[in-house]
Structure 1
Amino acid sequence: MNQAQISTCLLAGLVQLEDSGDVVMTHSNLKALADQLGSLLVKEWGAEFFDEPPYGVMVENCIQSCTSILQRKFSMDEAEARSAVSRFLREIGADTTRR
């Protein structure tokens, strides 16, 4: 299960809880809340690894977190923000080793 799938499941669960009356949501953007919760889950899961989390897990989490930040701070749509983050990571990756 990847970051987007986790966020989608969390969003569906949050909406279901709110619709049932079990939880009252005051957050203005439930998708952003689900994304933040998903990021916390991935970071916690990654902390279970002895040396370091798998590179792919951390990169995807970084992309998702940075995408959300660009969307909030610069009013970018998700595709545009994700493209900018991916382009930035490719550029620094060209000059930097994993170490």
Structure 2
Amino acid sequence: MRLPTPGAFSVKVPEGRLFLLGDTRGNSADSRYRFEEAEGGTVPLSAVKGALIDEDDPLVVGLRSAVPVGGGLLFLGAVSGVVALRLRRRAVTAATPMADTVPVPGV
């Protein structure tokens, strides 16, 4: 469901409150849609449940480092799968008697 985007507006955010905007502006029921309510659609800081994660946070650094490792493991798995498939085909071909050979009678 796409909400109609409000037109241009001006807002003064009181001390200790936040004016929230969604990432997808055309589909976010954010402070713009509560602009006519008390406090201009702002919310108190105490209503925010979360924390700012710094770019140097160990979790962020670890996740950023894990992405190339995961890509390398994915590549290694794909190469291993291709090698295993070729080895299996080669083993089946070696075990199968050749169909186009004709046995020599009396030998």
Q: TM-score range by the shorter chain?
A: under 0.3
Q: Which has the larger radius of gyration?
A: 2
Give the TM-score taking structure 1 as reference length: 0.22
Return the structure number with greater relative CO, CA threshold 8 A, min gap 6: 1
| TM-score for both structures, normalised by structure 2 | 0.21
